[in-house]
Structure 1
Amino acid sequence: MASSLFLGVGAALTSDSALAGEQAAETRENAAEEEQASDPLAGATIDAALVYYQEQDRVTAAEGIINYRQALDDANIIRGKIALDALTGASANGAVIQARPQSFTRPSGTGVYQARAGELPLDDTFKDTRLQLSANWQHLFSAKWQASLGGYLSREYDYTSLGVNAGLEHSFNQSNTQVFAGAAYYFDIVNPVGGRPVGMSEMVFRKDFASEAEFRQAFDATRFYESALKRTFDFNVGVTQTLSRRWQAQVSYGLSAVNGYLNDAYKVVSRVDSGGQALGYHYEQRPDERLKHNLYLMTKGALESGTLTFSYRYSDDDWSLQAHTFDARYRYNLSGAAYWQWQFRAYLQDAAEFYHLYLTEGEPLPEFASADHRLGKMQTYTIGVKYGQKLEQGMLASVRLAYYQQRPQNPGVELPGELASFDQFPHIDAIVLQLGMRF
C-alpha cells in the first residue's frame, strides 16, 4: 500500500475534460489498486489498459494507458506512464433550457451552433485529444525509509501541464506503521480556442452587425488572446496502520492551493427576464484562487474468501464546495488464478457559492458566476464489476464494466416562468468499460 503514495501524488487531472472528472479519478484508483497488489521488486512489469466511457447523447471518451515498472536493484525502482485519450461529442455550455430554439456564437467567433426548443444547450464541437507522460524514481534507503521523485507532462490542443512531485515514507513499529508525506507542483498553460473570454462579458452575434469587420471588432472586445497560466501546489500527509493480521487502515490529509486562470472558457450563463426567457448570454467568471482540503479514511480487510475495502473522503474549499465520497469494494477470489470484484461508489457535492443557474435581467452582474453543473449541487453513483484472470507466464488479464449516473440537483434556485416547464438539471447516464493486461 505504501508505494501508492508515489504514484498518487501528482496524478491530478490537468483539465476537467479527461474521462469526466470523477470517473477519471476512479480509473486512477483502480490502477493504483493493481499496483499495490504487486511486488515492487519483482523485476519489470508492464500494465496496459483500454478505457471506454460513453455518456448517453453526450461525451464519448477512449483512453489507452501503458504503465512500465522496473526494479533496477534492491533499492531502486523506476516507473513510467504514457496515456493517450480522445474525447468527442456534445458538452453542456451552461445555458438554460428554453421553449424556443437558441443560437450561440462558436468559441472561435466563426459561425453558430444551436439548441432545439426544450433541449439542454450542448456545444456539439466538443473534441479533444490528450497525451500524458510521467516518470518516477523510487529509492529505498533502508527497510524503514524510502523516497521518490517524479515528473509529469500533459498536452492537449488548448492546454499544457508540466509537473514535478516528491514523496517520503518511514516505517516503524516492526513495519506495522508507515507515515508518509508528498508534494507536487504543476505549471499549466491555457490557450482556449478563440482566446479567453472576458469574464461576465456578453456573447455577441454576427447577425446583429452590418459587417464582418464590425462583428469581429465587437467579438475581439470580449477576448484576451494571450496565453493564461495556472499554478497548483499539492501536499499530502498520512499514516497507514496494520490493525491485526487481517486488517489495515489509512488516514491522510491533503491540501491543494491553485491560482491563475480557473475559468472554463467554453461555459456561459444565461440572462433571463421575469418570465424566464433568455435575453442574452454571459461568459462565466470564477475566482482566480482556490484552496482545497481533503480528509481520506480507508480500511481494508483480508477475509477467507477475498478482500473487503471501505473508504471515505471529505473535501472542502474556499469556494464553499463541499463533497463526500463513499466507496466500497469486495474482491472474491474464485481460486488462486481468478477473482471477481464488486464496487459501489457514491459522491455527494454541494454547490459553489458563485454557482448561478441564470442571471436576472435588470440586476447588477455579480463579480463571479458560473452555471457549470460540475460546480453545482449533485450526486453521482457508480456500480461496477471486475473480473481478473491469471494467464500463462504470469500474465494477468482483467475486464471492468461500470454504470455511472450523475444527478445534478437544484440548490434552491427559483425557476421563473418557462424555466419551470423544463428539467433544468437533467441526469447523465454513462457506461465505462475497461480492459487491462499485465505482462
Structure 2
Amino acid sequence: MKKLSVLFLFLVFNLGLAQEDPSNAYQKRVLEAAEVDLLFSYYNQDGENAAVTGGEGTEELTDATSSIVVKMPLNPDDVLTVDVGISAYSSASSSNIDPFDKVSSTASPFSASSGASQSDALVHFNPTYEHSSKDRNSVYSAQAYVSREYDYFSIGFGGGYTRMFNEKNTQLGASFQVYLDSWNPQYPIELREGFFDSRITGTGTYDPGFVEFDDETRNTYSLSLSLSQILGKRVQGSVFMDFVSQSGLLSTPHQRVYFSDVNDFFIEDFQLADGVERLPDSRFKIPIGARLNYYMNDLIVLRGYYRYYSDDWGITAHTASLEVPIKLNDKFTLYPNYRFYSQTAADYFYGKEIAVSTLDYYTSDYDLSAFDSHQYGMGVRYKDIFAGTKVFTFGLKTIDLRFNAYDRSDGLSSYIFSLGTTFVAD
C-alpha cells in the first residue's frame, strides 16, 4: 500500500542545551520534566491511476493515525523518548487485490471491493535514547523501530552523533539507520495458484505464466550528514546530505501490470493481470538539501527549504517550500506554508498497456512517473507559557492544529488534518 505521507505529522525535540556552570555546583538538565505528545491525523486522497489495477482505477484512501510520544529525563544528561502509534486505513485501491468478491456490484477498477485487503492497521513502536555531554556540546543517540501491517513487517535500529562548536553557533551531525523488512506477499487473486473463474472472457486462454518472487526481504541502509550554522543575528542556515541504499524485493507484489503484446482478458469490467511490477533488486538514493531561516522581526519568520534528489532508477526531483510563522501574540502563532515538488519518471515506468512482456523491469505505479505537485497549508499553534491548564498532573504546553491540501498533475489530490498536543509534568 502506497501511503503518501501522512508524513505531515512531525515532532521537534527541544533539548534546551546549556553550558555547565563553571562552579560545577549545578548542572542544568537537558529536559527539566517529562513531556507527553498526543498526535492525531486524518488523511484522505482520491485519483484514477491506481497501481494495484495497473495504472487505471480508483485511488480512494482514508487513513487515521494516532500516536503518543513520551519524553522522560532519566537524569540531568539522558533522555528516553518512546513513540507508539497506530495507523488505520481503508483503501478502495488495495481492496481490488481481490475485486471479485463484490456481492452487489460489477467488478471494476473504479469501484471498491469488500475483501480483506480493503482495510488494515499499521502499528509502530520507536524508542530513542539521547545522552548529552556535561558541557552540552555533544549529543549521542540510539534508537530502534518496529512496525507491522498485514503484508509487511519492519524492524530497524540506528544511532547518531551531534557536535556543537563556536559557542553553539555551529552544529555538525551524523546518523545512520538500518531497516530489515520482510513481505508477506498478497498477489492479485487471479495470479494465485489454483485460481479459476468461468466468467473469464477474451481471445484464447488466460495463462499469464506468473512466477512468484523468490526474495521476500527488503533491507535499507542510510547515512545522514548535516551542518547547521548561525550566520547572523537574523539568519540561520543548514545543509544536509543523505546516502540511502536498498536491496531485496523493491517491487510491490500486488501491483498489476498490463502488456501491449498480450491479449486482454476480463471478468465483468475488470481486466485480469498480465503480471505484477518488476523492479531492480537494488536502489541507491542521494538527497541533498538546505534550509534557511530569516527572522524578519519579533512577529514574522521566513523558513525556506530546498532539496535535490537523484537515484539510479532515473528519477531526479526538486522540492522547494516556504513557511512563514506569524506570531499574533504571546499565545497564538499562524503557520501558512507552500510546497512545490517536481520529478522525472523512473526508467521503468510505463502507462497501462505500454510495456511489453520481454522487458526485464516495468511498473505502472504513478508514484514513479513524471509529475509536479503543489501543497498548500495553514497551521495554528497555541502556547501556554506557564502550562496553567492541567490534565491530571500534566500541564498543557502547546496545541498545534494544521490543515494541508495536495494536488498532483496526474490528478491525484488529497488533504490532511493534524492535531498535536504537548503536556509537561509538574
TM-score for the superposition, normalised by structure 1: 0.77
Q: CA deviation at 1:64?
A: 0.2
Quote the residue 1:101 is aligned against.
none
Residue of structure 1 equivalent to 2:233? 245
Question: Match for 2:44 among 40, 43, 54?
Answer: 54
Question: Do structure 1's residue 431 and structure 2's residue 415 form an aligned pair?
Answer: yes
Per the alignment, do residues 323 and 26 of structure 1 end up closer, same or farther by CA in structure 2, a change over 3 Å counting?
A: farther
- For 2:241, the aligned partner's letter is Y
Gaps of 5+ in 1: 1-15, 94-103, 409-426
Change (3 A) 1:243 1:202: farther
Kindly state the Cα deviation for residue 282 of structure 1 after the two structures are TM-superposed. Answer: 2.2
Question: CA 1:181–1:41 in 2, change beyond 3 Å: closer, same or farther?
Answer: same
Structure 1 residues 199-224: Cα deviation after superposition (integer angstroms, max 9, x where no partner): xx999762378xxxx99xx79x6353
1:285 is paired with a residue whose SS is coil
1:336 matched to 2:330? The reply is: yes
Measured in 2, the distance between the counterparts of 1:256 and 1:315 equals: 11
**Which residue in the other structure is 1:153 paired with?**
146
1:74 pairs with 2:76: yes
Find the counterpart in structure 2 of residue 88 from structure 1.
90
Deviates more, 1:271-280 or 1:236-245: 271-280
Matches within 5 A, 1:202-221: 206-207=197-198
CA deviations on 1:374-409 (whole Å, 9 max, x unpaired) are 11111221111111112434421121111111222x
Which sections of structure 2, spanning at least 5 residues, go unmatched?
18-29, 47-57, 266-270, 390-394
Match of residue 140, structure 1, among 129, 132, 137 = 132
1:301 offset after TM fit, Å? 2.2
Counterparts of residues 131-280 of structure 1 (less than 5 Å): 131-141=123-133, 142-194=135-187, 206-207=197-198, 222=210, 224=212, 228-272=216-260
What secondary structure, in the 3-state scheme, does the structure 2 residue paired with 1:266 have? Answer: coil
Deviation at 1:266, TM superposition (A): 1.6
Number of equivalences:
377
> For residues 406 and 144 of structure 1, what CA distance do their matches in structure 2 show?
43
Once residues 274 and 314 of structure 1 are traced to their aligned partners in structure 2, the CA distance between those partners, rounded to angstroms, is 39
How much has 1:314 moved relative to structure 2?
0.9
1:373: which partner in 2? Answer: 366
- Alpha carbons of structure 1 residues 164 and 273: separation in structure 2 relative to 1, 3 Å: closer
Greater alpha carbon shift after TM alignment, 273-282 vs 307-316: 273-282
Distance 1:351 1:202 in 2: 33
Structure 1 counterpart of 2:217, one-letter code: L
Where does residue 416 of structure 1 map in the other structure?
Answer: none
Q: Distance in 1 between matches of 2:257 and 2:173?
A: 43
CA 1:316 to 1:334, structure 2 compared with 1: closer, same or farther past 3 Å?
A: same
Measure the CA separation in 2 of the matches of 1:318 and 1:41.
42
The residue type equivalent to 2:404 in the other structure is: A
Q: What do you get for the CA RMSD once the two structures are aligned?
A: 3.5
Tell me, in whole angstroms, the C-alpha distance in 2 between the residues paired with 1:252 and 1:173.
Answer: 19
| Counterpart amino acid of residue 280 in structure 2 | P
Kept in 1: contact 2:6–2:43 (CA 8 A) = no
Contact 1:195 1:223 in 2 (8 A): no
Residue aligned with 2:6, SS: helix
Q: Is the 8 A contact 2:217 2:249 kept in 1?
A: yes
Which SS does the other structure have where 1:65 is aligned?
strand
List aligned pairs for 1:286-325, cutoff 5 A: 286-304=279-297, 305-325=299-319
Q: One-letter code of the match for 1:383?
A: Y
Instruction: Indicate the SS of the match to 2:9.
Output: helix
Paired residues of 1:134 and 1:152 also in contact (CA < 8 A): yes
Question: Hey, what's the Cα distance between the residues in 1 that align with 2:380 and 2:39?
Answer: 14
Are the structure 2 counterparts of residues 323 and 168 from structure 1 closer, same or farther at C-alpha, using a change threshold of 3 Å?
A: same
The two structures have a TM-score, normalised by structure 2, of: 0.79
TM superposition shift of 1:270 = 1.8
Give the structure 2 partner of residue 24 of structure 1.
Answer: 6
> Which position in structure 2 is the counterpart of 1:106?
98
Asked whether the equivalents of residues 309 and 318 of structure 2 are also in contact (C-alpha less than 8 Å), the reply is yes
For the Cα contact (< 8 Å) 1:161–1:188, is it kept in 2?
yes
Query: Quick one: percent identity of the two aligned structures?
Result: 22
1:148 maps to a residue whose letter is S
CA distance in 2, matches of 1:202, 1:366: 24
Paired residue type of 1:75: D
Supply the distance in 2 between the matched residues of 1:335 and 1:44 (Cα, whole angstroms).
Answer: 27
Where 2:381 maps in the other structure, the secondary structure is strand
Q: In the TM superposition, what is the alpha-carbon distance from 1:306 to its structure 2 partner?
A: 3.0
Aligned to 2:352: 358
User: 5 Å matches for 1:385-404?
Assistant: 385-391=378-384, 392=389, 393-404=395-406
For structure 1, which segment, 321-330 or 36-45, has the greater mean C-alpha deviation from structure 2 after superposition?
Answer: 36-45
Partner SS, residue 206 of structure 1: coil
Deviations 1:11-66 (A, max 9, x none): xxxxx53xx32x333323xx33xx34977523211111110001247100100011
Bigger helix share: 1
CA distance in 1, matches of 2:97, 2:102: 6
In structure 2, the residue corresponding to 1:271 is in which secondary structure? coil
